[in-house]
């Protein structure tokens, strides 16, 4: 598209897959992110997230709750990393002192934000993770 003789650049929206088993939390996260220019895909379980991930050709960030029934956030992330080794991840949970959080997130240096958080804190964490190199690129450096 040309505007005043100049070529306009199409800027793509970052795509975020948000996974949380609590519908209200999922709705709030989706709203915050969508209102700030992100394309948001949502899933209420690890199983549903895998289905969404397989249908979507490009996902920039996985934002997942850590503690969910059936499949934890870290288990989901490990599975999705087999499909996209460079996937960026941001974990969230309401129990930051949980052994699962320490073992699977903190000790592995994954990005984490504790619930409850302000929208501005969520957006800052998302921007920070999206600005970081994809995992595969980091592993090669």
> 137: helix, coil or strand?
helix
Terminal Cα distance for the chain, rounded: 38
**Which pair of tokens denotes residue 19?**
């996974």
The mean predicted confidence, pLDDT, of the chain is 87
Give percent above pLDDT 90 in the chain.
72
- Summarize pLDDT for 32-49 with one digit per residue, the tens: 999 999 999 999 999 999
- Summarize pLDDT for 96-136 with one digit per residue, the tens: 777 878 777 866 778 999 999 999 999 999 999 999 988 66
- Between CA 22 and CA 44 the distance in angstroms is 7
Of 7-11, 57-61, 73-77, 104-108, give the lowest mean pLDDT range.
7-11
Q: Name residues whose C-beta falls within 8 Å of residue 120's C-beta, 6 or more positions apart in sequence.
A: none
Q: What is the pLDDT of residue 12?
A: 82
């Amino acid at each position: 598209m040309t505007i005043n003789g100049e070529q306009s650049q199409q800027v793509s929206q970052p795509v975020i897959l948000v996974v949380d088993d609590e519908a209200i939390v999922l709705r709030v996260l989706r709203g915050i992110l969508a209102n700030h220019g992100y394309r948001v895909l949502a899933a209420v379980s690890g199983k549903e997230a895998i289905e969404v991930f397989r249908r979507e050709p490009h996902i920039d960030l996985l934002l997942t709750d850590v503690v969910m029934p059936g499949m934890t956030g870290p288990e989901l992330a490990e599975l999705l990393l087999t499909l996209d080794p460079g996937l960026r991840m941001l974990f969230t949970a309401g129990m930051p002192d949980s052994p699962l959080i320490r073992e699977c997130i903190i000790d592995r240096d994954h990005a984490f934000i504790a619930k409850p958080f302000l929208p501005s804190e969520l957006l800052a964490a998302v921007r920070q993770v999206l600005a970081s190199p994809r995992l595969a690129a980091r592993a090669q450096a």
